[in-house]
Amino acid sequence: MLAIVCPGQGSQTPGFLSPWLELPGVREHLESLSAIAGLDLIAHGTVSDEETIKDTAVAQPLIVAAGLMAARLLVEPKALTASTVVAGHSVGEITASALAGALTEPDALIFVRERANAMARAAAETPTGMSAVLGGDPEEVAAALAAAGLTAANANGGGQTVAAGTLEQLAAFAAAPPAKARVIPLKVAGAFHTAHMAPAVSVLENLRPQLRPAAPLPTLLSNYDGAAVVSGEANLDSLISQVSRPVRWDLCMESMAAMGVTGMLELPPAGTLTGLARRGLKGLPTLALKSPEDLDAAREFITEHSGTAAAVAATTTGEGNA
pLDDT band of residue 158 (cuts 50, 70, 90) is confident
Give the Cα separation of 183 and 141 in Å (integer).
11
> Measuring CA to CA, which residue among 63, 268, 177, 93 is closest to residue 163?
177
pLDDT attached to residue 77: 65
Average pLDDT over residues 230-239: 96
Can you give the length of the chain in residues?
322
Give the Cα separation of 272 and 281 in Å (integer).
13
Q: Which of 29, 44, 193, 305 is catalytic?
A: 193
Query: Are residues 160 and 282 in contact, defined by beta-carbon separation less than 8 angstroms?
Result: no
pTM of the model: 0.91
DSSP notation for 128-146:
EEEEEEEES-HHHHHHHHH
Residue 311 DSSP one-character state: P
- pLDDT tens per residue, range 24-75: 999 999 999 999 999 999 999 999 999 999 899 999 999 999 999 999 999 8
pLDDT band of residue 309 (cuts 50, 70, 90) is very low
**Residue 308 reports pLDDT greater than 70:** no
- List CB contacts of 243: < 8 A, sequence separation 6 or more: 115, 118, 119, 192, 193, 197, 200, 201, 204
Q: Is the CA virtual torsion 91, 95, 96, 100 positive or negative?
A: positive
- pLDDT tens per residue, range 167-214: 999 999 999 999 999 999 987 778 999 999 999 999 999 999 999 999
Residue 305 annotated among the catalytic residues of the structure = no
* CATH top class, domain 2-122+194-306: alpha beta
- List CB contacts of 283: < 8 A, sequence separation 6 or more: none
SS3 317: coil
Give the Cα separation of 167 and 190 in Å (integer).
9
Among residues of the chain, what percentage have pLDDT more than 70? 94
Residue 90 annotated among the catalytic residues of the structure = yes
Per-residue burial over 134-165, b = 16 or more CB atoms within 10 Å of its CB, e = otherwise: bbbeeeebeebbeebebbbbbbbbbbbbbbbb
Query: Are residues 259 and 284 in contact, defined by beta-carbon separation less than 8 angstroms?
Result: no
Specify the CATH superfamily of domain 125-185: Malonyl-CoA ACP transacylase, ACP-binding (3.30.70.250)
Q: Using only C-alpha atoms, what is the Rg of the chain?
A: 18
- pLDDT tens per residue, range 84-119: 999 999 999 999 999 999 999 999 999 999 999 999
Q: Which of 34, 48, 90, 244 is catalytic?
A: 90
pLDDT band of residue 157 (cuts 50, 70, 90) is confident
**Residue 307 reports pLDDT greater than 70:** no
Q: Which stretches within the chain are classed as H helix?
A: 26-37, 41-46, 50-54, 56-74, 92-99, 105-125, 138-148, 167-175, 198-207, 232-242, 249-259, 272-280, 295-306
Q: What is the bridge-based pairing of β-strands 151-157 and 2-6?
A: unpaired
- pLDDT tens per residue, range 36-48: 999 999 999 999 9
Helix (H) or strand (E) holding 154: strand 151-157
Break the chain into its structural domains and give their ranges.
2-122+194-306, 125-185
pLDDT attached to residue 10: 84
Give the Cα separation of 296 and 204 in Å (integer).
38
**Residue 319 reports pLDDT greater than 70:** no
**Residue 313 reports pLDDT greater than 90:** no
Among residues of the chain, what percentage have pLDDT more than 90? 84
pLDDT band of residue 254 (cuts 50, 70, 90) is very high
Angle at 13 between CA 11 and CA 18, to 5 degrees: 120
The average confidence (pLDDT) of the chain is: 92
**How many CB atoms are located within 10 Å of the residue 175 CB?**
8
The letter for the amino acid at 238 is S
pLDDT attached to residue 322: 31
Query: Are residues 231 and 96 in contact, defined by beta-carbon separation less than 8 angstroms?
Result: no
DSSP notation for 156-202:
EETTEEEEEEEHHHHHHHHHSPPTTEEEEE-S-SS-TTSGGGHHHHH
pLDDT attached to residue 114: 97
